[in-house]
Amino acid sequence: MKTVKIDDLAKMKSTIKNMVEQQKSFKNQRRTVNLVGERTINPNDATYKHTTNRDDLRIMYAAYGVARGRKYSQIENCYSEERHPLRVFEITIDRILKKYRTLSVEVIEEVAVAV
């Protein structure tokens, strides 16, 4: 009997794509000059949401990289592995990975019986 854990990377990837689209919208809405389209939220709120979304996106990218088997130095390669700033967010990254982890599947090897 072998237990295989499957991460739902497609769902995580779609969440990241949605956050990126929100980020583009917030970036446009925080402008006071050269606004494209209509204003939907206050520029101060857009600035705050843009900043918090940026931090959340960084952690989501890191969680996606860890789920794909990358090290922190491979995700953001301008830092060494020993003193990488993403180590501060390890608890949050683990929480995100648990959120997107699907069920454990038990694989039972069948033995062919000759009749």
Looking at residue 1, its pLDDT comes to 39
Domain membership of residue 33 (yes or no) is yes
93 inside domain: yes
As for how many domains the chain has, the answer is 1
What 3-state DSSP class applies to 7? strand
**Is residue 4 scored above 60 in pLDDT?**
no
Residue 92 lies in a domain: yes
Whether 26 maps to a domain, the answer reads yes
Is 112 domain-assigned?
no
Q: Print the domain residue range for 24.
A: 2-107
Is residue 48 in some structural domain? yes
Q: Under 8 Å CB-to-CB from 84, ≥6 apart: which residues?
A: 72, 73, 76
Q: Are 23 and 115 in contact (CB under 8 A)?
A: no
Whole-model pTM: value is: 0.75
pLDDT digits (tens, 9 = 90+) for 58-92: 999 999 998 888 899 999 888 888 888 999 999 99
pLDDT digits (tens, 9 = 90+) for 27-56: 888 877 777 778 888 889 999 999 999 999
Contact status, residue 101 vs residue 67, Cβ threshold 8 Å: no
Q: Does residue 53 fall inside a structural domain?
A: yes
